[in-house]
Amino acid sequence: MKPSSSAQRDHPCLYPCGRPLLEFPLPVRLIVLGATGSIGTQTLDLVKRNPDKFQVVAVSCRSRVPDLVRLLEDLASVCPDHDPPLVAVTDPEAHAAAAALPGIGKRLLAAGPAGLVEAVTGAPGAHCLVNGLVGAIGLEPTLAAAERGLRIALANKESLVVGGDLVAEAVVAGGAEILPVDSEHSAIAQCLSGRTEEEIGCLILTASGGPFRETSAADLARVTLEQILNHPTWKMGPKITVDSATLMNKGLEVIEAHHLFGVPYDRIEVVVHPGSIVHSLVEFVDGALLAQLGTPDMRIPLQYAICGEKHWPLEMGRLDLLKTGPLLFEAPDPVRFPCLRLAREAGAAGGAAPIVLNAANEVAVTALLDGRIRFGDIPHIIEDSLAADAPGEVNDLATALAVDNQARRTATGHIDRRSSSGE
């Protein structure tokens, strides 16, 4: 896979390293996309803990409307002075059900992805988008928030995997800023506080290794879905949990780090750290290493991003260094976990390749969760899709979406053939 011309260019640093951040009055007014997911529920928990500092002005969910109603009722009881938020529901059937609810109907936005964009563009007085969506569906809301000039607390790594260059252009044009929520990228941001881009030697992302860190290649062929979804450290949604098991999540994070921090791929490393205590490290040009340590709780990076990189008080469990034990680091195994290699190659190729990578992975993970393929099929489907859909330039959103749609069709065809042949 050869790099496209766009991948060869010097890449801008999306992260506002050394630049002043946007200043907002309190409470910071939040748009929370993916409100019923892990990121969304933890964001709403922060709001309930700090109603004087945060206010929710718009939310979204895909189909879990009853869960969303309960979350909003809980939020209203704790924050009675806050106006109820706008609501977007992307699933058509769930949207119709939500429209019939007296507590939501009048505040309900358009169905489908259009509602996500409408939440971003129409939320009154919004300051910050918390993008907790999973998958490429998160790109358009990110672009809309960038064009509006918002702070973007980004947990949707696919926004940068699928449209990193497009997001960079929109951020500059709209005067927006992107602050990472992924624990690894938040750790890097904290290590870079007060530093300049010229001081960065390399970035070191840590990976837990997932549930199969010590599983042999032969045994990997027989793992069950229950085992796949049993992550040893983090509690996440099923898609991200599968990605952690294949190490694709770490591959996507490598691409995200490249776009966020402007660091070439050959200066972004991955180490397996099963304790999930060190969330990532930065090596500077003089050889000094800085690491960020903490408990595996996403509320820490969430609050750090939403409030503009201020360490506000947060009542939660603290890391006890005397109980952590030795800090173990290992090299990832490229043979047992080829998705990390595929992601690096797609990122280095640039252009359409990362879009194809991400789309094929999303389709393959869905097929795994539906019981149509096995765990070991995922990298083969991705590699076959990359081989079939050659990389090309992607200069606008329409092209990115067209590549994404084609890649999904290609991956689905590979899955159908495997299912019919019994491979």
pLDDT score, position 372:
93
Does position 388 have pLDDT exceeding 80, yes or no? yes
Give the pLDDT mean for 334-353. 95
Q: Minimum mean pLDDT among 8-12, 141-145, 187-191: which range? A: 8-12
For residue 290, report the phi and psi dihedrals to the nearest 5 degrees. Answer: -120, 135
Pick from 108, 158, 111: nearest CA to 132:
158
For residue 55, report the phi and psi dihedrals to the nearest 5 degrees. Answer: -140, 135
Does position 60 have pLDDT exceeding 90, yes or no? yes
Does position 253 have pLDDT exceeding 90, yes or no? yes
pLDDT score, position 422:
60
Calculated CA dihedral for residues 325, 327, 333, 339, nearest 10 degrees: 100
pLDDT score, position 158:
93
pLDDT score, position 4:
47
Task: Say which residues have a Cβ less than 8 Å from residue 334's Cβ, sequence separation at least 6.
Answer: 340, 341
pLDDT score, position 9:
40
pLDDT band at 133 (very low <50, low <70, confident <90, very high): very high
- Residues 367 and 370: their CA atoms lie apart, in Å, by 5
- Residues 246 and 391: their CA atoms lie apart, in Å, by 23
| CATH number among 1.10.1740.10, 3.30.930.10, 3.40.50.300, 3.40.190.80, domain 182-423 | 1.10.1740.10
pLDDT band at 55 (very low <50, low <70, confident <90, very high): very high
pLDDT band at 69 (very low <50, low <70, confident <90, very high): very high
**How high does pLDDT run on average in the chain?**
92
Q: Containing H/E element for 179?
A: strand 177-180
Where do the structural domains in the chain lie, given as residue ranges?
A: 5-181, 182-423
pLDDT band at 10 (very low <50, low <70, confident <90, very high): low
What tokens appear for 307 in the block? 């409030």
pLDDT band at 335 (very low <50, low <70, confident <90, very high): very high
Largest pairwise CA distance in the chain: 62
pLDDT score, position 128:
98
- Most confidently modeled of 15-19, 137-141, 322-326? 137-141
- Residues 69 and 65: their CA atoms lie apart, in Å, by 6
Pick from 286, 274, 281: nearest CA to 244:
274
In percent, the amount of the chain with pLDDT more than 90 equals: 81
Work out the angle at residue 226's Cα, subtended by the Cα atoms of residues 220 and 231, and round it to the nearest 5 degrees.
80
pLDDT score, position 392:
81
Give the pLDDT mean for 351-360. 96
Give the pLDDT mean for 4-15. 58
CATH for 5-181 is 3.40.50.720
Task: For 200-236, write each residue's pLDDT tens digit.
Answer: 999 999 999 889 999 999 999 899 999 999 877 767 7
125: left (phi > 0), else alpha (psi -120 to 50), else beta? left
pLDDT score, position 8:
39
pLDDT score, position 7:
41
Give all strands of the β-sheet with 278-284 in edge-to-edge order. 268-272, 200-207, 278-284, 289-293
Give the pLDDT mean for 22-46. 96
pLDDT score, position 11:
61
